[in-house]
Amino acid sequence: MSVKWSYSADGARRRCQRQLAYNQVVASHNARDTLRREVYVLKQVQQVRAWQGSLVHGVLATTFLSLLRVREQPDPAALTAIAVARAQRQFAYSAAQRYRQPISKASAGEDYGALFEHEFGPALAVSDLERVEANIATAFRNLASQRELLTELYAGWNQRSEWPLRLVQDGMAVSANLDLISLRQRGEPTIVDWKVSESESSDYARQLQVYAWALIRSGGWPQERAAQINLYEVNLLKNLVHKHPFDADRLAETEGFVNEGIAALRAVLGEGRYEADLLARLPIAEQEQACRYCPYQRLCPQQLSAEGRPQEAQIVLERVAGG
């Protein structure tokens, strides 16, 4: 198995090297090793906050994309109804822990759900689902109100959602998945990254710049015209649109960031081979929040104890209990 660098993988490395190893190397749906199969199951688990975002993203990548392509304005109520119906099916799927049954994720399709709270607690109530449904409705109402952004997108062509960019940098696979890319009148790219977050302070400029860098390095746009790429971070819960700058200087800075990340990832995971002592070489997370919301919070203390690191195992257990 080869290691793959992405912006999200770089974030995982910064949070916890062991979690990164579970994600990229240990998890395997078809391994005979029961640990690796369990890690694969837990890798699918999402917190409710992330899940509501994935529900909105799913409708944006399908129904909203279809509307863009035929230049039909979005109906917030209709988009909400699609996402809410999907939410209810996924909530029921997760509550029954069907994600633990020997059914492939692909076979479950849009019904598949695996929520952190159903796996670890605290128990979710009907009111939690209602809050998710309310946030979904808010997100689509806010989308419809963004007239300036929608005007640019609807005037564009060749719109694509969840568009994967794949390239090799310094001998390592690099991936970037664009939420939405649309071409303006003369083919200039507009890249949109949808956020469904209650935070107003997060700055995702670097993430958008990585996407623009990947577009250029994969041959999708000429380097000398870097400044013509429009980058939009759109927080649909807060109804905020941030346009992030990009130019030749930022292209060079972003390439440096990616190269540093690749070197750091290789130092942690090597070439990505699954080896018995891989986890034993890696430290626990510095921040206790990383343990508290980690999907591997039951496995990691067990592994640490088996590695002869009981004190660190106790630290992880106390962090989880503190949540």
For residue 211, give the CATH number of its domain: 3.90.320.10
Q: Is the pLDDT of residue 295 over 80?
A: yes
> Could you tell me which residues come within 8 angstroms of residue 29 by beta carbon, excluding any fewer than 6 positions away?
37, 40, 104
Looking at residue 16, its amino acid is C
Count of Cβ atoms closer than 10 Å to residue 251 Cβ: 20
- Residue 24 has what pLDDT? 95
Say if residue 279's pLDDT is above 50: yes
Q: What percent of the chain has pLDDT over 70?
A: 98
- Residue 224 belongs to some domain of the structure: yes
What is the bridge-based pairing of β-strands 4-5 and 172-183?
parallel
Q: Is 316 exposed, middle or buried (0-12, 13-18, 19+ CB in 10 A)?
A: buried
Average pLDDT taken over every residue of the chain:
95
The DSSP secondary-structure symbol of 296 reads T
As a 3-state breakdown, the chain gives helix, strand, coil percent values, each rounded to 5, of: 55, 15, 30
Residue ranges of alpha helices (H) inside 100-185 are 105-108, 116-120, 126-145, 147-154
**Each residue's pLDDT tens digit, 15-74:** 999 999 999 999 998 888 999 999 999 999 999 999 999 999 999 999 999 999 999 999
Domain hosting residue 240, numbered range:
151-246
What's the N-to-C CA distance of the chain in angstroms?
Answer: 34
Strand (E) or helix (H) holding 305 = helix 299-306
Residue 77 lies in a domain: no
C-alpha 280/C-alpha 64 separation (Å) is 46
The residues, ordered by sequence, that sit 6+ positions from 174 with a Cβ below 8 Å of its Cβ are 4, 5, 6, 166, 167, 168, 214, 258, 262
CB 27 within 8 A of CB 39: yes
Stretch 121-133: mean pLDDT, rounded? 93
Whether 278 is in a domain gets the answer no
Backbone angles phi, psi at 173, to 5 degrees: -65, 135
Report pLDDT digits (tens) over 155-205: 999 999 999 999 999 999 999 999 999 999 899 999 999 999 887 666 799
Token pair of 265 as six digits = 């990832």
Give the per-residue pLDDT at 157.
95
Q: Are 246 and 1 contacting, i.e. CB atoms less than 8 angstroms apart?
A: no
Structural domain tally of the chain?
Answer: 1
Burial 274-300, CB ≥16 within 10 A → b, else e: eeeebbeebebbeeeebbbbbbbbebb
Average pLDDT over residues 248-264: 98
- Residue 322 domain flag: no
| Distance between CA atoms of residues 99 and 241, nearest Å | 35
Q: Is the CB of residue 202 less than 8 Å from the CB of residue 193?
A: no
pLDDT in the model for residue 159: 97
The answer to whether residue 93 is domain-embedded is no
Q: What is the pLDDT of residue 1?
A: 45
Q: Is 144 within a domain?
A: no
pLDDT at 322 over 80: yes
pLDDT at 201: 60
The Cβ-side half-sphere exposure at 208, using a 13 Å CA radius, reads 27
102 pLDDT more than 90: no
* β-pairing verdict for 189-195 and 230-235: parallel
pLDDT of residue 323: 60
Q: Measured between alpha carbons, how far is 265 from 9 in angstroms, rounded to an integer?
A: 8
Domain presence at residue 287: no
Residue 253 pLDDT greater than 70, yes or no: yes
pLDDT number for residue 34 = 92
Element (H or E) spanning 84, and its range?
Answer: helix 76-95
178 assigned to some structural domain: yes
